[in-house]
Amino acid sequence: MATLVEKGASGAATWVDDRLGSSNFIKRSLNKVFPDHWSFMLGEIALYSFIVLLLSGTYLTLFFEGSSREVIYNGAYTPLKGIPMSAAYESTLRISFEVRGGLFMRQIHHWAALLFMAAIVVHLMRVFFTGAFRKPRELNWLIGVGLLVLGIVEGFAGYSLPDDLLSGTGLRIAYSIALSVPVLGTWVSFLVFGGEYPGGSIIERLYPIHILLVPGIILALITFHMMLIWYQKHTQFAGPGRTENNVVGSKIYPAYAAKAGGFFFLVFAVMAALGGLAQINPIWLYGPYDPSQVSAGSQPDWYVGFLDGSTRLMPNWELRTLGHTFSPNVLIPTQVLPGVLFGLLALYPFIEAKLTGDRAYHNLLDRPRDKPVRTGLGVMSITFYLILLVAGGNDIIASIFHLSINEITYTLRAALFIVPPLAYLATKRLCISLQQADVHLLHHGVESGTIRRLPSGEFVEETVPLPSQYSVLLATTPERKELIAHAHTEDSEPKAVAAKPRGFFRPRGGVVEPPPDHKELERTVD
Amino acid sequence: MSDSIRDRLKPAEDTPEVHHAEHPAGDPVVSTHHAYHPDLRNDPKRAKRAEIAVSALFLLAVVGVIGFVVTYIAAPFNFGTANYQTFTPLLGIFMTLALTGIGSGAVLWAKTLMVDEETVQERHHLASDPKDRAETVEILKEGFEESGLPRRSLLRNSILLGAGSLAVLPVPLLFGLGRFQHKEAVLSKTGWKAGSRLLDELGRPVKLGDLEVGGVKSVFPDVPGGRRMADSAALLIRMLPEDLHTSPSRKDWVQEGHIVYSVICTHLGCPVKLYEQQTHHLFCPCHQSTFDAANEAKVLFGPAARNLPQLAISVDADGYFVAQGDFTEPVGPSFWERKPSYSDKVGA
């Protein structure tokens, strides 16, 4: 049996190799070394979610009808019988109530979309805070930012398709945002929607965009993203034996591949569990879209929430002059703000390189604490984003906590400008403290738990030098490497190694503590 | 230092020791292989146990698949039948079981039975050899010269113009996406006409006296398809006549404390229909713009910049409400061609 399989496999391999000469490439690929770290699996979650999206989405296209043609409902869901609705909404009801497993697939698809975006965002944070975007990986950073934006567009198109009350409201807002563009606004919105809202064409147009155009581009970009990771080799954290010029990890085949493959099924399992057990987007409760209706507490999917928040916080500035109306109250929060945010995000690697003058190759990742300014900027941005996200739910907060929505809005408006800079300062300070803690560990070693009493009556706790495999992890700067080199020789005074803080950033209690004088200690004990 | 950090710093007993060559001021070098997990090749007993555990997980997948298929075929599914709501959760549970079995089996297999050692691989230098770079530039230059483009300016200019003109091709196609319309005229018009009755959601005309003080009613123009017109939805509100403050020019737009506003928010077009009886506030659930229904729907709060347009109404001979005409300004969100004079008229 085994020999038969072997014979078959080798026969097939020979057949392919005779024609493609693929062995050389396959050999190198199987022997490829991939560094191991839990945070490297975040991007994998995004990739696997996308695969689940393709699978579940393809199944849904077999039943969905992307059409705004009006029909009178006569399906299985009795509460809506006789109600006029679009064919899109009717087919979504059919998927939910008449296709066996259809609701399950719909819910998996929706959950996978939420997870896809979440994984992208968390992966982005990992790449940002560890400096993985630095030379030579700026291109992959740009592709990643492109994927983030396309993911938002794809998600918005997807949840607009069922044409229920909630998604129709979202589309009307999108139309109104397009309308606000100076000079071109009416043209853009009329051409996209096919006329004055609702225009009658948007579902028909969003459908191919959602199932073909955008996923096709995303698939191509993901492929390119992975090819670049493969070709440039993955970054790694500092550690024993790890340098800028090598990769330390496990070979792709077989253990790593088995783990990654297993991880795909586990991610898929999480989505299956959510799709089966956690109801999402119950469109039959919202009802079909009716331009004169809206439900209170309307919320978009989470990844659009920050734009909803910025729109809610914006003061009502409008300019009416020279025969035209200009609407900063719409333009700034929905177009200028995301343009600036995503623009800065995309350009960040180049901005940082310009400001630091760092043009070197970087294959070793930073520890966030070693780059207080970058980490501070990252936390500042996250804080800014979170305030917008919270603002997107200001009505929910108001009703849950019985607060005035006006006061919440005013508070968040102020917080948007005050809290992020504070978050920057606090993070920077924290990073410097953590650096000092590292230096302290390198200087003094680890507390041993052994208390010794000195002849003077003083109690001191003995420390043991940090085990070398851990001190290596802390050796992230040339100064620290030097410190480690001197740590066990005891013959010279190591130089100060943490960033030299000024003002507020000065460590509490003065300067970095000098290392304990072991020799003097021993003399006293003797 | 907390206990957890101290524990972490203590080398775990299973962890193979990593030795570093003493390498002053440089990068320490690994001198031994570092296995990610105990090697079971020489421990047949533990290996067998691991094999059984992995196989059990793989077989769990079969159980999940059987459950999934049985549920799919046999479980109640049709809306309204007994327990139909358990169908989707059961599918989810069995599929999760199947996928978890395969997934965790594969991971456990890799973590116990496969050899997984730390390996070092050198990175290749990404930038090309300067010589190769120079040669590439040279080839490109030569080809460019050979093509004749740098010398033949007529050819160069005509190809630029010719190829560039192709960019125009999609433009008419793009404009085909919509009809040629006078945008301002389209956006300024709704379904309301002089004499058009105010119909409620079920299409019944609304009469003076149908509404109590403090009551509201969604109203639509009495034209074909008026109920579904996205720009024509309006709200009829009745309040005490003394609560209602209108400018002199709009004195005749209201009828005995009845007033009608467009419900299309002047911010982003959501229907503004949440009416607060005591304060006469109209609230938009999308972005919380708040309008004062007692004062020509003036903006009190939120990102909306303009009042909700008001529809002038009167009462016909049979006592039914009718519109005096269309709105006197475009309803809904702002757009570039919207004339500022619309708003000047009402002093917004």
Regarding whether B203 and B152 lie in a shared domain, the answer is no
Q: Taking phi first (over 0 means left), then psi (-120 to 50 degrees means alpha), and beta for anything else, what does residue A195 get?
A: left
Regarding whether B286 and B202 lie in a shared domain, the answer is yes
Regarding whether B213 and B145 lie in a shared domain, the answer is no
Regarding whether B145 and B85 lie in a shared domain, the answer is no
pLDDT in tens, A339-383: 999 999 999 999 999 999 999 999 999 999 989 999 999 999 999
Closest partner residue to A194 (CB to CB) among B178, B233, B273 is B178
Regarding whether B105 and B155 lie in a shared domain, the answer is no
Residues of B within 8 A of A194 (CB-CB) are: 177-178
Regarding whether B269 and B145 lie in a shared domain, the answer is no
Residue B327: which CATH number?
Answer: 2.102.10.10
Regarding whether B268 and B135 lie in a shared domain, the answer is no
Distance CA B35, CA A434 (A): 31
Distance CA B166, CA B152 (A): 22
Instruction: Tell if the CB–CB gap between B100 and A266 is shorter than 8 Å.
Output: yes
Find the angle CA(A37)-CA(A121)-CA(A411) to the nearest 5 degrees: 130
Residue A263 is given by DSSP the state H
pLDDT at A403 over 50: yes
What is the pLDDT averaged over residues B212-232?
Answer: 90
Distance CA A336, CA B274 (A): 30
Domains and CATH numbers, chain A: 42-241+250-366 (1.20.810.10), 431-525 (no CATH)
* Most A CBs within 10 Å, among B95, B187, B188, to test the A interface: B95
**Average pLDDT across chain A, whole number:** 88
Q: Which residue of B has its CA nearest to A407?
A: B301
Is A352 an 8 Å CB contact of chain B?
no
Is A323 an 8 Å CB contact of chain B?
yes
Regarding whether B134 and B101 lie in a shared domain, the answer is no
pLDDT in tens, A300-338: 899 999 999 999 999 989 888 888 889 999 999 999 999
Name which of A352, A327, A397 is nearest A134 in CA terms. A352
Regarding whether B147 and B113 lie in a shared domain, the answer is no
Indicate whether B177 belongs to any domain.
Answer: no
pLDDT at B18 over 70: no
Q: Which residue has the tokens 């906590």?
A: A401
Whole domain around residue B153: which residue ranges? 130-165
State both tokens at A317.
């500035």
* Most B CBs within 10 Å, among A326, A469, A474, A481, to test the B interface: A469
Indicate whether B176 belongs to any domain.
Answer: no
Indicate whether B115 belongs to any domain.
Answer: yes
Phi, psi angle pair for B198, to nearest 5°: -90, 115
pTM: 0.88
pLDDT at A44 over 70: yes
Residue A253 pLDDT: 87
How far is CA B6 from its chain centroid? 46
pLDDT at A521 over 70: no
Distance CA A185, CA B268 (A): 13
Indicate whether B283 belongs to any domain.
Answer: yes
Is A195 an 8 Å CB contact of chain B?
yes
Question: Half-sphere exposure (CA, 13 Å, Cβ side) for B347?
Answer: 9
Instruction: Tell if the CB–CB gap between A261 and B301 is shorter than 8 Å.
Output: no
The total number of structural domains in chain B stands at 3
Instruction: Tell if the CB–CB gap between A180 and B335 is shorter than 8 Å.
Output: yes
Total count of residues recorded for chain A = 526
Provide the pLDDT confidence category of residue B343 given band limits of 50, 70 and 90: low
pLDDT at B31 over 50: no
Provide the pLDDT confidence category of residue A520 given band limits of 50, 70 and 90: very low
Indicate whether B49 belongs to any domain.
Answer: yes
pLDDT in tens, A57-77: 999 999 999 999 999 999 999
Last residue of a domain, one of B120, B141, B173: B120
* Most B CBs within 10 Å, among A172, A322, A442, to test the B interface: A172
Regarding whether B288 and B141 lie in a shared domain, the answer is no
SS3 of chain B: CCHHHHHHHCCCCCCCCCCECCCCCCCCCECCCCECCCCCCCCHHHHHHHHHHHHHHHHHHHHHHHHHHHHHHHCCCCCCCCCHHHHHHHHHHHHHHHHHHHHHHHHHHHHHCCCCECEEEECCCCCCCHHHHHHHHHHHHHHHHHHCCCCCHHHHHHHHHHHHHHHHCHHHHHHCCCCCCCHHHHHHCCCCCCCCEEECCCCCECECCCCCCCCEEEEEECCCCHHHCCCCCEEEEECCHHHCCCCHHHHHHCECCEEEEECECCCCCCECCEEECCCCEEECCCCCCEEEHHHCCEEEECCCCCCCCEECEEECCCCEEEECCCCCCCCCCCCCCCCHHHHHHHCC
Regarding whether B331 and B220 lie in a shared domain, the answer is yes
At position B211, the amino acid (one-letter code) is L
Residue A484 pLDDT: 65
Distance CA A522, CA A462 (A): 12
Distance in Å, alpha carbon of A523 to nearest chain B alpha carbon: 27
Q: Which residue of A has its CA nearest to B32?
A: A241
Indicate whether B40 belongs to any domain.
Answer: yes
Residue A140 is given by DSSP the state H
At position A393, the amino acid (one-letter code) is G
Last residue of a domain, one of B120, B146, B176: B120
Indicate whether B313 belongs to any domain.
Answer: yes
Regarding whether B148 and B55 lie in a shared domain, the answer is no
User: Is residue B312 a contact partner of residue B324, using CB atoms and an 8 Å limit?
Assistant: yes
Indicate whether B180 belongs to any domain.
Answer: no
